[in-house]
Amino acid sequence: MISSKYFKQIFVLFSMLILISSCRINRIDGINRLNNQQFARKAHKAGYVILDVRTPSEYDSAHIAGSILMNLKDSLSFIEDLTKLDPSKKYLIYCRSGVRSLKASRALKASGIKKVNDLQGGFKNWTGA
């Protein structure tokens, strides 16, 4: 049986681990997967480029202010736009649900862009302006 002293210590340690892990950025293949708050904070900082990889009709219906449309479903256009990106810049990428943006993020990483951030859950979960 665990004494109450050890139980309290274990509980405090466990609570700290949960707190620390909730603040961490989720990473997949070197891509930062950001929640709404993390994405919004970076979107308001200078030096970040926001890419919307949805279709033009999705973009026209609503989009994150300042974002640039790069339609992933139009492969030729997407590749052409990809070659024009500055690899020294930092990119924030989103789509409707997070599937296309992860694919696009992987394409950016493969093209040599190092600072790639993806919005987890996509625009459907977006709570920012």
**Does the pLDDT value for residue 14 go beyond 70?**
no
pLDDT averaged over the chain?
86
Answering whether pTM is above 0.85, one says no
pLDDT category, 92, cuts 50, 70, 90?
very high
pLDDT category, 25, cuts 50, 70, 90?
low
CA 81-123-22 angle, to 5 degrees, is 110
Is the distance from CB of 62 to CB of 126 less than 8 angstroms?
A: no
pLDDT category, 16, cuts 50, 70, 90?
very low
Instruction: Tell which CATH classification among 3.40.640.10, 3.40.50.1480, 3.30.300.30, 3.40.250.10 matches the domain 26-125.
Output: 3.40.250.10
Q: In what order do the strands lie in the sheet with 48-52?
A: 26-28, 31-34, 115-119, 90-94, 48-52, 68-69
Distance CA 48, CA 89 (A): 7
**Does the pLDDT value for residue 17 go beyond 60?**
no
* Distance between start and end Cα atoms, the chain: 52
Q: Which runs of E-coded beta strand occur in 1-129? A: 26-28, 31-34, 48-52, 68-69, 90-94, 115-119
